[in-house]
Amino acid sequence: MAENTYHGDEIARKIEARLKGNVEAACILVQRAARQNVRTGGESGLHRRSGQLINSINYDIQGEGPEITGRIGVVKLIYARIHELGGTTHPTVTARMRAWAWAMYYKMEGAARTGMKRSARAFRSGLKGKGMAEMSGAQSAADQSDFYKGIALTKKSKLTVVIPARPYLRPALRNNLKKIREILARGIGK
């Protein structure tokens, strides 16, 4: 005679584990896409400098049973939110900032003198978006040097800087919605 055995709890644990695994797979997909957006500039033209933003894009999975959620984001970087959403910031002008501005001014002054040669060389070789080739000749380098000189010489103690939105998380989610739905549906179908 066959014994009646209840396996409901075991089945529920397996389903929950599968769902958590699929939510994690979807989070990893979006995390990788967001990191790629930062690495390449994505749709927004975000420029990578130190790699801190890329390394700070993480995910977190919370909940139990049918209430499992995955979140992707950056927690500990001050500038991550302003890059994603845009906004205005008011940095304090310090002696260190002035020294940096002077250093950039002198660097750009050198670029202004040699910028025409570099831009022409980049144009002929078909390179675009590589260092000085982004600038349109000496005029852009001269404009940039004036910008840095202005920061170095300003009498203001605080600046107003408007930063445009350069999203990297939202496009990663938007561009992968179809794949995310497929990944999550896999857990329900099997």
Tens of pLDDT along 62-119? 988 778 899 999 988 888 899 899 999 999 999 999 999 999 998 888 765 655 445 4
Of 106-115, 149-158, 175-184, the least confident: 106-115
Rounded to whole angstroms, how far apart are CA atoms 148 and 104? 6
SS3 for 47-60 is: CCCCCHHHHHCEEE
Q: Which pLDDT does position 90 carry in this prediction?
A: 93
Which one is predicted more confidently, 65 or 53?
Answer: 53
DSSP state of 104: H
Interval 151-176 mean pLDDT:
92
pLDDT at position 130 over 50: no
